[in-house]
Copies of this chain bind each other. A is one copy, B any other.
Amino acid sequence: MTRLFNDPVAFVDEATEGFVAAHSHRVRQVPGGVIRSTKSEPNTVAVVIGGGSGHYPAFCGLVGQGLAHGAAMGNLFASPSAQQIYSVARAANNGAGVLLSYGNYAGDVLHFGQARDRLISEGIPCEMVKVIDDVSSASLEEIQKRRGIAGDLTVFKIASAAAEAGYSLEEVVRAAEAANLRTRSFGVAFDGCTLPGADDALFHVPEGKMAVGLGIHGEPGISEQDIPSADELAELLVKRLLEELPEGVKSAKGARASVLLNGLGTVKYEELFVVYRRVNQLLKDAGLEIVEPEVGELVTSLDMAGASLTLFWLDEELEKFWAAPCDTPAYSKGSVVSAEQLDAAELDIPDPDAIPEATSESQEAAEKVLAALEATYKVIEDNEEEFGRIDAVAGDGDHGIGMARGGKAALEKGREVKERGAGAGSLLRMAGDAWADRAGGTSGAIWGAALHSLAMAIGDEQKPDAARIAQGVRDARDNIMHFGKAKVGDKTLIDVLVPFSEVLSERVEAGDDLKTAWQAGAERAEQAAQDTADLVPKIGRARPLAEKSKGTPDAGAVSLSMIIRAVVDVL
């Protein structure tokens, strides 16, 4: 139960402010997150991590000497926006490129990918390593689909220590990937956490039961069983992890590994130590040499009740970097010589609020874009509860809240920059960034990306015509499909966006005016949204449990189709 907050909407911003106040000698706030407050060696790689908030020490608590250079901080359990990541990376950059590292979740993949493209387009070398340690989230054959959980720490630590050692970006990526492929985690949960202001937990596990493999945001697990004894839990976790030795490790016997026993929030230290006692015995019995283990709260989920065990199989280089000293708000090791504090003047922080010049035609067209944002938010406001209800069938039920947060932020930003003379393209781009910033989650990422693509096609010069808008919708579709990896039939909003884009482009090419073409597209979109009821999700949900969503359409598909329909009236 999360009890201490003011306005729930301000929770993450206020937590960040308090965090930075408490740790001002180690971190400083920048737009989008935090960076080290200390100077780093010039011309070394910067490691920028990030993800949703609510997982402290992940992610901001792991910024400091010897560990990450910066952390982009999204809303609760929601990816930071591309703009946030980009901004933190720019501020953290030491001149030798940036490694972005994050847990493998759709929204994060999308946003970190966009941020990377933008950094590269500005001449900053950038690579990405997504953490994939959770063995219960996909099979070994599909290892790249696995989620990132407590193994985040080992990958971040190795990448950062390699950067600290002066490795090139390419070498840092190699070391981080080696760590990633040698990190395996397996978790269980007993109950969900409650978001500030929510009446109930995000999810529950039946009383007396344990959900095996449940994700840290409540992603469905692989099975449920009675809560075992501490020893039995240790046996379950160790057995599964020893079944899957990473490439390069022939046998547990004689191998060296670090062990992380992580509490998710309300499984307390004494319980973890009781479990660790048996983990330690079992691993020693298997002939493993345990190196610098950690037992505690490394990646949490607010007050979720659960725990995970991570094995990090070492080689000589990884062991050296794992043991390297670091000093962060939440994780310290060895003896770190304090670096000088950074001078604010040295920071490279782009002004996200600067408005590019625009023609008067584009400024005029901006009025229509604003009207479309108004129509969009109206739809969301009227249907927020319903979106949440549909989403809760097989998801986490936050689609309504996320859309409302995003739509409102976009509208407010749109109004503000309209006053300041923004063109149609910039208005939409900045509104889209605000949407992604505030909405969080995969849908926030997708909406931000879509509006961004559309905005780029519209630009700030000409009055946007039908052909340009149809092109923008195609770009938005491609952008989302590229980053989000969803295909038609996966039960996502792609099932609506693809046919809508098709009909819109066809009709515009056939000579229809924008309103007529859009109207035809909207009808097709509505049908497509209803059709998703027959589908089963392929992404972000464990297969066995995804089945139960059959019969209910996808929340993202429904909200998109309704918004498309509402926009007709303002064209």
Spell out A's residues near B (CB within 8 Å). 1-6, 11-12, 14-19, 21-22, 25, 53-54, 56-57, 61, 190-191, 196, 227, 229-231, 233, 261, 265-278, 280, 292-296, 300, 302-303, 305, 307, 330, 332, 334-338
Contact check: which of B3, B54, B274 meets A14 at CB < 8 Å? B274
- Docked pose: A273 CA to B227 CA in angstroms: 32
Contact A268 B302 (CB under 8 A): yes
Q: Is there an interface contact between A305 and B3, defined as CB atoms closer than 8 Å?
A: yes
Q: With A268-B300, A268-B303 given, is the CB distance from A277 to B3 under 8 Å?
A: no
Query: What is the CA–CA distance of A227 and B1 in the complex, to the nearest angstrom?
Result: 12
* A268 x B18 contact (CB < 8 A): no
A302: min CB distance to chain B, Å: 5
User: Which of chain B's residues have a CB closer than 8 A to the CB of A61?
Assistant: 269
Q: DSSP class of A's interface residues: helix, strand, loop or mixed?
A: mixed
CB pair B3 A190 closer than 8 Å? yes
The answer to whether residues A277 and B18 also contact, given A269-B57, A269-B61, A336-B335 and a CB cut-off of 8 A, is: yes
Closest chain-B Cβ to A319's Cβ sits at a distance in Å of: 14
Task: Collect the chain B residues with CB atoms within 8 Å of residue A273's CB.
Answer: 14-19, 22, 56
Q: Are B337 and A22 in contact (CB under 8 A)?
A: no
Contact A274 B335 (CB under 8 A): no
Collect the chain B residues with CB atoms within 8 Å of residue A275's CB: 4, 18
Known contacts A22-B295, A295-B22, A335-B337, A274 near B56 by CB under 8 Å: no
Find out whether the CB atom of B229 lies under 8 angstroms from the CB atom of A18.
no
- Are A307 and B4 CB-contacts (below 8 A) given A15-B270, A18-B272? yes
A115 to B335: give the CA distance in the assembly, Å: 36
Q: Is the CB of A22 within 8 A of B276?
A: yes
Out of B265, B271, B296, B335, which one reaches A5, CB within 8 Å? B271
Q: Which of chain B's residues have a CB closer than 8 A to the CB of A276?
A: 18-19, 21-22
How many angstroms between the C-alpha atoms of A160 and B104 in the bound complex? 44
Q: Report the separation of the CA atoms of residues A330 and B268 in the bound assembly, to the nearest whole angstrom.
A: 13
Specify which of A11, A53, A274, A338 lies most central, judged by the most chain B CB atoms within 10 Å of its CB: A274
Contacts A4-B233, A274-B4, A275-B4 given; indicate if A303 touches B22 (C-beta within 8 A).
no
CA distance A22 to B296 in the complex (A): 10
Closest to A259 in B: B22
Partner of A18, one of B196, B266, B295: B295
